Amino acid sequence: MPNLRLTIEFDGTNYAGWQYQPRNPTVQGELESAAGKALQQKVTIYGCSRTDAGVSARAYVANLHTDSVLSAERLRLALNHYLPDDILVLSIAKAGPEFHARHSALRKNYAYRIVRSRSPLRRRHAWEFWFKLDVEKMRKAASLFEGRRDFQPFCQTRDAHGCCTVESVLVEPAGEEVTVTVRGDRFLYKMVRRIVGALVACGSGRLTQKDIRAALAGRPFPPFQTAPAHGLLLDSVEY
């Protein structure tokens, strides 16, 4: 059957992540429910990432197979009609038969937003961290994560190893906000959030670069802080 590629924006606040769960609301669950109503058939939608509960996305990529006669644009409109307001299908396009949203991805780009103050208007999508934060220390520590590393100390995984290639980690201040952007070929469970947690701990004086180097070298180290999920955004996926 024809293979369709979907680009989706969603606010993850009210969801237990992307992947379907029978007893909790998920983004995949909402999309498959909407697709079932629009296409009058059961559909499986494959996502590019198993985002954690509370994580949002600007351009999440998914794909589905269907023999429906609906055009891509009519299907997009129908899906958005049935979807809740915090999930929006931005575009639908035909994809090659071998395209898979997750397995075909070359790299992913995440952005983590930190607000160095109290902010009722931004707190749903940012980590309110109103303690002293040395951005220069964060920048120096960020470079330690670049390259191919075993990130087991910075994730939860059952894999025999946690090897990933992180191409860049950038720490960018703008007024009272700090954005950490991470680009890499793949990311394990909680990996980006623990990298951010380590950078914030370093910037606030609770960790040093030496501590991070030791953990990356495989030496025993206490678990790293996991940054709150609501500050994380899956910004884009490259194919």
The pLDDT tens digits of the residues spanning 118-150 come to 999 999 999 999 899 999 999 999 999 999 988
Instruction: State which CATH number among 1.10.1060.10, 3.30.70.580, 3.40.50.9100, 3.40.1190.20 fits the domain covering 3-95.
Output: 3.30.70.580
Q: Of the listed 11, 52, 211, 235, which one is catalytic?
A: 52
CATH 3.30.70.660 residue spans of the chain? 107-238
Burial of residue 111 (CB within 10 Å: 0-12, 13-18, 19+) is buried
* Overall average pLDDT of the 100-125 stretch: 96
What pLDDT sits at residue 81? 98
Nearest to 234 by CA among 195, 187, 199, 200: 187
Give the model's confidence band at 152: pLDDT under 50 very low, under 70 low, under 90 confident, else very high.
confident
**Residue carrying the six token digits 């994560």:** 145
CATH 3.30.70.580 residue spans of the chain? 3-95
* pLDDT at position 80 over 90: yes
What pLDDT sits at residue 14? 97
* Overall average pLDDT of the 70-88 stretch: 97
* Model pLDDT for residues 169-214, shown as the tens digit of each residue: 999 999 999 999 999 999 988 999 999 999 999 999 999 999 999 9
Lowest mean pLDDT among 20-34, 71-85, 146-160: 146-160
Query: Is there a catalytic annotation at residue 185?
Result: no
Give the model's confidence band at 158: pLDDT under 50 very low, under 70 low, under 90 confident, else very high.
low
Enter the CATH code of domain 107-238.
3.30.70.660
Q: What pTM value is reported for the model?
A: 0.93
How far lies 13's CA from each of 9, 86, 96, 114, in Å?
A: 13, 9, 33, 16
How far lies 113's CA from each of 133, 153, 169, 178, in Å?
A: 14, 22, 13, 6
